[in-house]
Amino acid sequence: MSEPSRTAGLRPAHWRAALAVLHAVWHEQRVADATLQAWFREHREMGGRDRAQLSGLLYGVLRDAMRLARMCGSAADAGLLLAAHVLDRGISGVDALRALAGATADEAQQCLAACDATRLSDAERLNVPAPVWAAWLAQYGEAEAAALALALNREAPVDLRVNTLKATRDDAIAALAAEGIAAAPTPHATTGLRLARRVALQNTRAWKDGWIEPQDEGSQLLAALVAARAGECVVDYCAGAGGKTLALGAAMRNAGELWALDVAPARLARLDPRARRAGLREIRTQALPATDWHARYRERCDAVLVDAPCSGTGTWRRNPELRLRPLDLDTLAAQQRRILEAAAPLVKPGGRLLYSTCSVLAAENEAVVEAFLREHPHFEPQPAGERLALPALACGEPWLRLLPQRHGTDGFFAACLRRR
């Protein structure tokens, strides 16, 4: 179950907005954060409190989706789910809600009254799809699986990466403090900051000057695990919009050859303005597939990062709608193996191949790496905890496994492989 909402004073504008955004996410499978930000851009009259109210309603439903769907029926629409959430969390009484939602308010009240909480499965109670819950039980055991589910139902902290090309961590803390924003070092990443509250970062001088970038501490640790150095040839093979690319570039100090590759040219295009703001001049981009490029860079690269497309189960704190999407682990794992196979020939002898996901499912993580190693004996795993020199992250295996209930990060997996 999600944490109790702190929203209050539900008004017609809140209800209409929440219903429209939730419908887009629930029925049209839109991305929650992007849909919400688009609504805010189109309705600039909404103040900070209104935005907080709308965000609380949307994410409140999404973080309690399995339980609400069980109470309201699997065919329930966004309006009924929203009404049930509002009543269940005490955001509004049924009489006040009836003025906003009409008969849906009474239907929601009836659903809540008829539900026997003792008949909910653990998966429904903890807001986890049944197949994922079964996989977690096998992988982690009941107590750890429950702790993981609860952690992924909480709001994620606001983490920043300090761009060491332009500032130290102390510089960034001081700059943010000057604008009334409290920030503290993250527990593990040496470049990380964690904010005490959410703020409009794009309005801060530290952001405008390229001193900081939003990035979860776990993602920063994955970039650090690559151990990119000045003068090397480094490839971010599934770069997306380039958050890890920027971290790699800062580590390389604008010296060397840094490539960002992705199947979506539009995502790569968003990297250029971010790189300019960060003061990074050496990032090159290449859309995939790129047969000629692969042939040219075969066995030339010191390090290749494969942050593979995955289920995103480790990011449910930030993207709770992902738990509502159909999940085909076999198809995902096959795609991940193909990408790893395509990237591996780029690594030169003695170079590093880092495979990572933001998944907390073994089928996308250990299983993929172990299958790759069986077929590629010229690669060997390197102990991730030792490479990062962070004993608190050691798990007794070569892999790095980050879990929100243990480390306070999003859920991540990483394997560092060295080519003999």
The 10 Å Cβ neighbour count of residue 232 is 20
**Strand locations in 245-337 (E):** 257-262, 283-287, 301-307
The amino acid sitting at 276 is R
Read off the DSSP letter of residue 216: -
**Strand locations in 243-282 (E):** 257-262
C-alpha distances in angstroms, 13 versus 50, 107, 387? 9, 21, 52
Tokens found for residue 407: 């480390």
CB 93 within 8 A of CB 3: no
CB 322 within 8 A of CB 311: yes
**Strand locations in 109-242 (E):** 158-162, 183-185, 192-195, 212-214, 233-236
Q: Please tell me the total number of residues recorded for the chain in this structure.
A: 420
Bridge partners of 355?
306, 415
358 is an active site residue: yes
CB 10 within 8 A of CB 96: yes
Peptide bond connecting 265 to the previous residue in cis, omega within 30 degrees of 0 = no
Which position among 233, 301, 358, 416 bears the catalytic label?
A: 358
C-alpha distances in angstroms, 196 versus 30, 181, 208, 379? 29, 8, 20, 42
Q: Which residues belong to the active site? A: 358
